[in-house]
Structure 1
């Protein structure tokens, strides 16, 4: 056990950057690399060598079904496949090549490109492949809608807000991609796009769907009558939203779709590429590219970067390992943690009042963002993880930072007792049923996993006056528990992630181990353990598959389950021992663990993620915590995380 922990800690420590932080690759599906290729063709800024590397990546991840999935070995996804096919054709792939023919056949069998999702149809409209009436009618004038109106940009999640504002401005201006090679994809349509009349159609997710479809048809002719002066003013309002949030080389919202839309927006309004704003926006997109070594290597584009999240999680694992093994490792651990803390402290956002203040105008900022910089959009999940780390590292020295973080997190609690990731009471679910929101992810409602992290933080900090806030959060978690005893994991895959998160919070908050809520969760985790001692869960559980099931065990998910069981006081349960044995047996010769399946989600059913660091720091955390609990002869986990 000691040797396993030492090797894992050394492997993780070796990946720490010189300035103290960790950052791992954050991989999504084919969609963003495809969009990046098409963006270069839109702008006529084609990097031929890079495009070929991106194309190699896309060809490699094509599924056996002929199309592209949203996650490792997932089912065919029409929209991802349309974008990947178009991107590869733009690079120069012959449409009669076997991989292209298979993709085209799969697209046509699924209804053709005309049945792709809304964002794909916007992409097609920008290239002139479909008429603009093939996109939902949402006039850019919505930027004028007041905050009290049921539909306004402030009722959207931060990611929706930053993506939608420049996109609606583009839709109003209707620019055309330069597309210097004249690449088009008429072969992907079953019907002539200019003759299609039913672009907005079911299947709908609720009875609101057809209502909003009729409203879309009603508004469309009205939009055509909007006077030019009002449209120009709306585009200026959109620009006044975008420019203060450009966020330097980290980009608008620090997420790819918003950043790419800002690049196209500046181009559409005639801004010179040499203008510092346009230049920086383009640089922010390019910074997301990941290149493998070698002349024949691959490249892909990340949706964003995750250095604050990675540094917080890696540091927790390192701290746990140092305590578990002791000896000379403690001094090395202390040195690495001090560097990490020194990097994290100035990342706290103290002087920018972000979009969250629309709901909490008097709340003082104090959170951390997910990325290197994103001051308008701090994340309560990251804030909780970093605060718990700074507290366990040096509570006195970090007292001021912790107090700012504590007050901000408390102020971000929603009225139902839970926490969303970036916004407060961002839960007007009816908006997820408008035609524009066919992805169903327009909002940022409270979730069990984020709520759990906030409760863990508040409980660890230990202020008695915070108990009412904690109790409201616990009540929310009781209501959110699934019938089988698990919790839904909004930001990780999936019920194992949610259940681990909540059990840690309940432990920190002092909920008894025999509380029915805890017992049911424990029973569920034990019931889904695999024969090899590990745990695994498919991303398909976000799409209705059986919770907690997969074809193989994964190191990250096994670690979550083991940590959750230990948080519930089951240190000595045979399932924990079997999980620890699995992690010990699957460590490779480099002190690391390997896993290919995706382990997180951006938007369920739409966008999934693979955090490359999860396979490293979560197994180390689980093994170290097990060793620490054995040494101390206690069943109570001392920290909230």
Structure 2
């Protein structure tokens, strides 16, 4: 072992070399023949459960596959009897209802011990009538609740002008791609074929037909009460809308979807939008062999993960993110990144003007998507990380791609100085209070972590700190620092991720280590280090749990903390040495790390993620950077990531 996890003292530099070498070899074992990386991306059980229900909606049941998904669902059941939103998490009513429904469709006996425990937990939590909007829509599609259980979302939304208080361009890309095909379903109100006639009425404390108010509080604001009243009005007037307007709205929705169908990568590259597209085509009478219906179904099936004795469904694929991050780790270890860069370069989106252009007309496209293909929805975060990798590779052939990325990222900056993940100026916060948005994640406002990555990229390629773009961005990051010295992490869990991201950006622009933003962040990171030398953070920190704390340490969160400390000039800090010691001590003989806790997020408090690659490339990045800085090969972190 290279380091002593108790004292944090470097015992053997050769052992540190060995740790980096084994981690590099472990990562390279996952590289595809064409040079890219793509790791499994796991969410909670709602996605595989919804996939099971989709097959029953269509009467397209793959029995061997469903049996294997059943193995996965049963294994994820918690000690509380239900299903959580992340590994070892608390009971969640909506995830539990979907998992129970799926298992019953698969054929599990409702009186089997695991099903009885689940049912008891669901009823004790208030029953299926207390589930979220998306679960109630699933239940309505199967006739388990009346359609009045669902908020009113008229299909005529497709006709609303840009100036209207609600417009599809004013919500996030993920909301938009989910909503458009869903509007057709909510207007047509199809019923699942459900060939086995499965129902889950036993999960309701109050029979659904006796529930008088499905759109209930507590409302978070005046807006919530106002939208609740508006929902009541729409219920009375929607049936009076002209038939011609509804038909033309259907045509607009179908045109929107087909234009963005995105081949086998699917609408928006995300499961909910893809599944809604499949159901929309089916509801509109498209035969199963219609080219668009075939494409939509293939996109959904591509998300399946087939293991030896179980199967599950991913929420999306992450090849650009995985490849760029793995490339940075390999570069830090002194290994070539040519294969990764050659694979990434052609995926830059330069010929499709995406939905982002509604707010930025005239801006040339130049970003990268998160998935293999998603041209209407390039990802600002991915673009910054890919741009940094191409730049550090040093090949002049990438100069044009880097310049296009620079131009696009600058153009995507919001007026408050920050960047959102996919949209500029996506800050219509009142829309998070409509009844449909009970998940509170309808929007894509600027966040510290994405903004920090953009600052890092722009600084790395030479933008000076006094440039107006940089000045506004740094002011944004300064405003976003929490009272305890940390930063919120929107796309990674949570304050450890956000703090690491911003410290890298501050380092990249040359903020000195004695700057108060830096020192406060270092003090906070040191204060939440665990006794074993590592760091961990609970997904519940998106709720009421303490910032930066968890019952166990994880490899990825420890790596972020150590990388943040080094970016803040604290390479020789005892906390940094102890963090490196933890990584060395917990590395397995095959060079990998085990990490079961989820350390990323789709929608805070609603949808969490486990990137299976995080346990590989982030620890390697941290160990290799520590080795470089300790040996004096660099006086400071050389790159913005």
TM-score bracket, normalised by the shorter chain, equals: over 0.9
1:319 aligns with 2:331: yes
Tell me by how many angstroms 1:110 deviates: 1.3
Paired position in structure 1 for 2:312? 300
Distance of 1:434 and 1:19 partners within structure 2:
46
Paired position in structure 2 for 1:84? 99
Paired position in structure 2 for 1:184? 199
Tell me by how many angstroms 1:397 deviates: 2.0
Cα contact 2:464–2:470 (8 A) shared by 1: no
1:457-506 deviation per Cα after TM superposition (whole angstroms, max 9, x unaligned): 00000034982111111100111111100000000000000000000000
Tell me by how many angstroms 1:518 deviates: 1.0
1:105-140 deviation per Cα after TM superposition (whole angstroms, max 9, x unaligned): 111111111110000011011111111111001101
Paired position in structure 2 for 1:381? 381
1:63-119 deviation per Cα after TM superposition (whole angstroms, max 9, x unaligned): 111110000111110000010000000000010111111111111111111110000
Question: Superposed, which structure 2 residues align to 1:347-366 within 5 Å?
Answer: 347-366=347-366
Distance of 1:186 and 1:219 partners within structure 2:
28
Give the TM-score normalised by the residue count of structure 2. Answer: 0.97
Distance of 2:144 and 2:115 partners within structure 1:
18
Tell me by how many angstroms 1:44 deviates: 0.4
1:228 to 225, 232, 243: 243
Deviates further, 388-397 or 576-585: 388-397
Distance of 1:556 and 1:166 partners within structure 2:
36
Paired position in structure 2 for 1:565? 565
Tell me by how many angstroms 1:190 deviates: 1.3
1:608 match: secondary structure: strand
1:505-560 deviation per Cα after TM superposition (whole angstroms, max 9, x unaligned): 00001112111111111110000001111000000101110000000111100000
Shift in CA distance, 551/135, structure 1 to aligned 2, threshold 3 Å: same
Cα contact 1:201–1:210 (8 A) shared by 2: no
Paired position in structure 2 for 1:413? 413
1:154-211 deviation per Cα after TM superposition (whole angstroms, max 9, x unaligned): 0010000000010011100111100001101111111121221210111222232222
1:199 to 214, 231, 243: 214
Distance of 1:90 and 1:224 partners within structure 2:
34
Question: Superposed, which structure 2 residues align to 1:49-128 within 5 Å?
Answer: 49-128=64-143
1:385 match: secondary structure: helix
1:401 aligns with 2:401: yes
Shift in CA distance, 412/313, structure 1 to aligned 2, threshold 3 Å: same
Cα contact 2:388–2:640 (8 A) shared by 1: yes
Gaps of 5+ in 2: 1-15
Paired position in structure 1 for 2:33? 18
Deviates further, 519-528 or 464-473: 464-473
Distance of 2:500 and 2:65 partners within structure 1:
40
Tell me by how many angstroms 1:220 deviates: 0.8
1:86 match: secondary structure: helix
Shift in CA distance, 374/466, structure 1 to aligned 2, threshold 3 Å: farther
Paired position in structure 1 for 2:262? 247
Question: Superposed, which structure 2 residues align to 1:614-629 within 5 Å?
Answer: 614-629=614-629
Distance of 1:633 and 1:84 partners within structure 2:
52
1:27 aligns with 2:42: yes
Paired position in structure 2 for 1:639? 639
Tell me by how many angstroms 1:212 deviates: 1.3
Cα contact 1:566–1:635 (8 A) shared by 2: no
Cα contact 1:569–1:635 (8 A) shared by 2: no
Distance of 2:378 and 2:121 partners within structure 1:
41
Cα contact 1:259–1:281 (8 A) shared by 2: yes
Paired position in structure 1 for 2:300? 285
Shift in CA distance, 304/466, structure 1 to aligned 2, threshold 3 Å: farther
Distance of 2:373 and 2:235 partners within structure 1:
39
Cα contact 1:493–1:538 (8 A) shared by 2: yes
Tell me by how many angstroms 1:634 deviates: 4.6
1:581 match: secondary structure: helix
Cα contact 1:571–1:635 (8 A) shared by 2: no
Paired position in structure 1 for 2:173? 158
Paired position in structure 1 for 2:471? 471
Paired position in structure 1 for 2:488? 488
Cα contact 2:178–2:276 (8 A) shared by 1: yes
Paired position in structure 2 for 1:515? 515
Cα contact 2:464–2:509 (8 A) shared by 1: no
Distance of 1:36 and 1:634 partners within structure 2:
50
Distance of 1:375 and 1:204 partners within structure 2:
37
1:366-394 deviation per Cα after TM superposition (whole angstroms, max 9, x unaligned): 00000000000000000000000000002
Cα contact 1:537–1:557 (8 A) shared by 2: yes
1:167 match: secondary structure: helix
1:632 match: secondary structure: coil
Paired position in structure 1 for 2:4? none
Paired position in structure 1 for 2:610? 610
Paired position in structure 2 for 1:453? 453
1:601 match: secondary structure: strand
Paired position in structure 1 for 2:3? none
1:207-262 deviation per Cα after TM superposition (whole angstroms, max 9, x unaligned): 32222111111111100111222111111111111100000000000000000000
Distance of 2:268 and 2:466 partners within structure 1:
31
Paired position in structure 1 for 2:590? 590
